[in-house]
Each structure stands twice: as structure tokens, then as C-alpha cells.
Amino acid sequence: METTATHTEVDRQALESKVKDMYSQVADTPEADFHFEMGRALAERLGYEPTDLDRIPAESVQSFAGVGYHLDLAGIEPGDVVVDLGSGSGMDAFIAALKAGPDGRVIGIDMTEAQRDKARRLAAEAGFRNVEIRDGYIEQPPIGESSVDVVISNGVVNLSADKERVFRSAARALRPGGRLALSDIVTAKQLPETVTCDATLWAACIGGAMQREAYQQAITAAGLRITQIRENHQYRFLTDSAQGASRTFGVKSISLLAVKD
Ligand SMILES: C[S@@+](CC[C@H](N)C(=O)[O-])C[C@H]1O[C@@H](n2cnc3c(N)ncnc32)[C@H](O)[C@@H]1O
């Protein structure tokens, strides 16, 4: 498996366990204190349409832990097949399902059981029959080759210890002409090992952030062409240490669109 030097340093088992613990709490106790912002006020500040948020389960909005808005870039059309990598409690998957309509469908993939259980419960309660939540890893998503119109992902790829593999898998899943639209955390400068070896900082969406040019290069190397990219200045880091890292290393949220030609 291909990895960058930085990403071989973190203990992957410890990282997976920390990430699962943290996002189980995001699903089960969203009202608790976290190192990152969550919920409706964040979603609206990032650019989500209040009218979309009104039409999906409120509990999914409460557990929203994304870092940007990219559904405008995704341009989901009625009938599209959409995959949400790291779908969490389902907020983006539900909005995507509104746009894909009854002839389209959305497949959310997440490795954390509590997130999957919550998203499935909310889909059933609200009658979102075109949303399916699958157990899996974003590095090897359980999705057929060239079977998807749009891949979306929000605040998740930074948590992966093998981002190159995530982008290769997304490119493999997309049909020719398909689109990858995501929001994620990147850095201006390479983070030092004191940060990248700390599984807790990874789980808080900081330690795993990749240097921006390397991140874009990984997308390009996977066979996708980046057509739009923007910084999400509305995204704020909450803790002093995160704000310090943001200043020192230029840690930022971005949204981008890439196309499979
Ligand atoms: C920051 S949350 C974002 C969730 C959702 N996209 C949202 O906007 O609320 C990250 C999610 O990605 C999942 N996740 C992290 N790494 C993953 C991986 N390697 N494979 C599958 N899911 C992963 C976590 O379980 C968690 O639900």
C-alpha cells in the first residue's frame, strides 16, 4: 500500500479506535463538548440552505460535524447515484437524497457503528427510501467500479492514514464524467511529527491534515482533474491548540470539485 512518509508515523489501530470513540459520541451525545463545532448554526454559516436543513431529520443536523459546504459544487441531478464517504449521522446524505430524488439513490459509508445506526434509524423514521448506509472504510468502499455519478465527503479524508488510496477508490467508483465534491482540512505547511504521531489530534481533524499541494497532487494522481477549489473562511477551530496550529501551519478548510474525464 502506498503511503506518504508522514502518514506511516501514526499508529493506525490507535487512530481507528480514537476516531470511532469520538464519532460514536458525536452520534450519541451531540450536545456534549467537542474540539470542533457541530450542528445547525455551523451548517448555516458554512453555506447550507436553511430550506434544505428544514426538510431533513433534525437529529442528523445536530450531529453534523463537517467542515465546509460543497453540495453546490457537486451539482447533484435527479436520478444520480451518490456516494458519501464518511457519512456520519447522515446530514449530507439526506440533502443529497433530496436532490437525487426518487429515481436516484445515496449510499453512505462509515466505519463507526453508532453513526451508521443513527443514520439508518433517521432514514427509516423520515421515509428516506433512497438512502442506504453501508459499513465500510473509505479506503476500500464497498462500491462497484464506474457505478457512481457523484462522490461527496465532508471532513473525513483528513482522518485517513492513506489518503492516496481514498482518492484512487473514489476515482475507481466514479463513472467517466463523474464528479468528486468534498470539503476537508489541509495545511499550508507540512505538520511536524509531534502533531502527526498524535492519534488524539488526528481524531480532532488536525493531526492528519495533509499539506495542500500534496493533497491536490494525490487527487490528480488518482486520475481526477480539479476544476474548482475554495477556502472556507467561515470554518473556525475551537480550542487554543487548534487555533495555534491553524496560525502556525496554515491549517484550513477547503472545498473542491474534481472530475473524472
Ligand atoms: C468529522 S465526521 C464527519 C461526518 C459527516 N460527513 C458530517 O459531515 O457530519 C467523520 C466521519 O467519518 C468516519 N470515518 C473516519 N475515518 C473513516 C474511514 N477510514 N472509513 C470510514 N469512515 C471513516 C467517522 O466514523 C465519522 O463518522
- Give pLDDT tens digits along the chain (261 positions): 444 444 446 788 988 999 999 999 999 999 999 888 999 999 999 999 999 999 999 999 999 999 999 999 999 999 999 999 999 999 999 999 999 999 999 999 999 999 999 999 999 999 999 999 999 999 999 999 999 999 999 999 999 999 999 999 999 999 999 999 999 999 999 888 888 887 777 777 788 999 999 999 999 999 999 999 999 999 998 888 778 888 899 999 999 999 999
- Residues 49 and 41: their CA atoms lie apart, in Å, by 11
Residue nearest (by alpha carbon) to ligand 1 atom 5: 88
How many A from CA of 182 to the centre of ligand 1?
13
Cite the beta strand spans of 78-147 per DSSP E: 81-85, 105-110, 131-135
Ligand 1 close to Cβ of residue 64 (< 6 A): yes
In the chain, where are the structural domains located? 6-259
Nearest to 253 by CA among 221, 212, 222: 212
Question: Does the Cβ of 90 fall within 6 Å of ligand 1?
Answer: no
| Ligand 1 atom at minimum distance from 38 CA | 9
Residue 201's nearest CA partner among 250, 239, 150 is: 239
Measured CA to CA, the distance from residue 249 to residue 243 in angstroms comes to 10
Residue 203: the pLDDT is 76
Report the separation in Å between the CA atom of 5 and the middle of ligand 1, taken as the mean of its atom positions.
23
First to last CA, the chain: 25
Report pTM. 0.95
Nearest to 195 by CA among 21, 1, 38, 7: 7
Q: State how far the Cα of 64 lies from the Cα of 235, in Å rounded to an integer.
A: 13
Q: What is the DSSP letter of 55?
A: T
- Separation of alpha carbons 121 and 125, rounded Å: 6
Please give the Cα distance from 73 to 6 (Å, whole number): 30
Per-residue burial over 199-231, b = 16 or more CB atoms within 10 Å of its CB, e = otherwise: bebbbbbbbbbbbbeebbebbeebebeeeeeee
Which of 67, 78, 97 has the alpha carbon at shortest distance from 230? Answer: 67
Do residues 38 and 69 touch, judged by C-beta distance below 8 A?
Answer: no
**Closest to 107 measured CA to CA, from 168, 152, 74, 45:** 152
Report the distance separating Cα 107 and Cα 148, nearest Å: 10
Give CA–CA dist 144/56, Å, rounded.
Answer: 28
Q: Is the CB of 30 under 6 A from ligand 1?
A: no
Please report the sign of the dihedral spanned by the C-alpha atoms of residue 139, residue 143, residue 149, residue 155. Answer: negative
CATH says 6-259 is which class?
Answer: alpha beta
Ligand 1: nearest atom to the Cα of 138: 20
Q: Is 137 in the pocket of ligand 1 (CB under 6 A)?
A: yes
